[in-house]
Amino acid sequence: MPGKLLEVNIEASRRELGAIGSPQLLYLLVDIKPASSANLVRAPFNLSLVIDRSTSMRGRRLENVLAAATMIVEKLSPDDFFSVVTFSDRASVVVGSSSQQDKAIILNQLRKIEASGGTEVFRGLEAGYRELSRVPLKDHTNHLILLTDGHTYGDSDACLEIVREGASDGISLSAFGIGTDWNGHFLDQLAALSGGETSYIATPGMVVQALQQCIQGLGSVYARNIRLSTEFPSAFKLIAAFRVAPSAQPLGINGNDLLHLGNVEGGARLSFLMELKAASQEPGTKLGLDFELMADIPSESARNHRVRVHYDFDFVAGQPEGEPPKAVVAAVQAWNFHQMNDKVWNDIENGNLKQAQTRMHLLTQRLTEAGHTKLAHQVHAENERLSAGTGVSAESQKALTFATRSLVNQTVRLRTIEDEPL
């Protein structure tokens, strides 16, 4: 029976809640890190690279994707499993999954990939998961990397279902959107189902660097497939969740009892923020939240390792004393910036341009007050374009969405593991 493998720290916006007669919002910032005695040994990779080769990928986009694939191949160890799948309106297995492959043969196969056809993401995902499943999943870091530059048509539900099934087997997914024509909401849904992440590749030249960062993170994974049971007492309702570190990513709340959080990398913390609604209670009431986390830790041969943490809240008469922890305040403020930005684009998509302009003006003010002047100027410039009737571009939408998202990550970037005992 393995000992303590993970350490968990929880900070609440309030540990004492006012008995005010109505529900109130509560924020929890949760940090997870390897235990001090953790055995930080790299598990072999089981990777599948699923590449969109539709007509729109022709030219520099596909060239840079293949350059990134070459970089991955060069970094493979003999024990790593690797496969490459391409898709348009059908899928092809370019490199079948196996270890100790001849890298020269793989690179030769990559050079033969050409762009043509439409975009049907499910075809690629299906073939990619099939290749990943050829390997003993419990002994590996299992990950599917999806690269696409367009929308998929008619198969969104099938894509979500196969990612959900893969996550139950311990396979995570990262989605890289190239250019501006891909569906950000859809890729976020895919990533959230497995604790993965979505990345915006603004220019083809960014592909290699983005994939290099992804592979570096996977190479240091200590605990994978971290899941949180969300079967909380009826007095607490989970409204939303957002991963703060190691990467900023919305986490899916889909009526499922499990929240997929991602991986714990050796020497780093996994942090996430939860927004809950707490029902009002009588003064003197004490309510507890029991957190149950599950994780797979290959180096310890531990599958579904469980960690339980209890956290109490007291309901008091009058206004609770004390200020919320600074770390929670900073994370919530940055998260609110991102949520405000999302509401702007929802307004624009729904034709509520006046409401969008009002939100943009308020977001500009809030960003300025927080010292994010460069980003505030970007929002203001887009508001000016909207007011002038010229509209806003898909490029601006993607750029601001991921810029505000990164603000949440920045709130913990300077909080090293040694900052405070967990």
- CATH assignment of 45-219? 3.40.50.410
* 266 neighbors 220 (Cβ within 8 angstroms): yes
121-140 residues labelled b (16+ CB within 10 A) or e (exposed): bbbbbbbbbbbbbebebeeb
Pick the CATH number of 10-40+222-316 from 3.40.309.10, 2.60.40.10, 1.10.10.10, 2.60.40.3670: 2.60.40.3670
Reference 26, options 281, 226, 247; nearest CA is: 281
pLDDT of residue 420: 45
pLDDT of residue 228: 94
The sheet carrying 236-245 orders its strands as: 6-12, 24-34, 270-278, 236-245, 249-251
User: Any residues with CB less than 8 A from the CB of 45 and at least 6 apart, and which?
Assistant: 76, 77, 80, 81, 82, 140, 141, 143, 218, 219
pLDDT of residue 121: 94
Render each residue's pLDDT in the chain as its tens digit; 422 residues: 456 889 999 999 999 888 888 888 999 999 999 988 777 788 889 999 999 999 989 998 999 989 988 888 888 888 899 999 999 989 999 999 987 778 888 888 888 898 888 888 999 999 999 999 999 888 889 999 999 998 888 899 999 999 999 999 999 999 999 998 899 999 999 999 999 999 999 888 888 888 888 888 888 889 999 999 988 888 899 999 999 999 999 998 765 678 999 999 887 889 999 999 999 889 999 988 999 999 998 888 888 899 999 999 998 887 888 889 999 999 999 999 999 999 999 999 899 999 999 999 999 999 999 999 999 999 999 999 999 988 888 889 999 999 999 999 887 654 543 454 33
């600074």: which residue's tokens?
326
- Mapped onto helix, strand or coil, the DSSP state of residue 333 is helix
pLDDT of residue 85: 95
Reference 6, options 30, 24, 27, 42; nearest CA is: 30
pLDDT of residue 417: 39
pLDDT of residue 256: 64
Q: Position 332: which residue type?
A: V
- Mapped onto helix, strand or coil, the DSSP state of residue 73 is helix
pLDDT of residue 155: 92
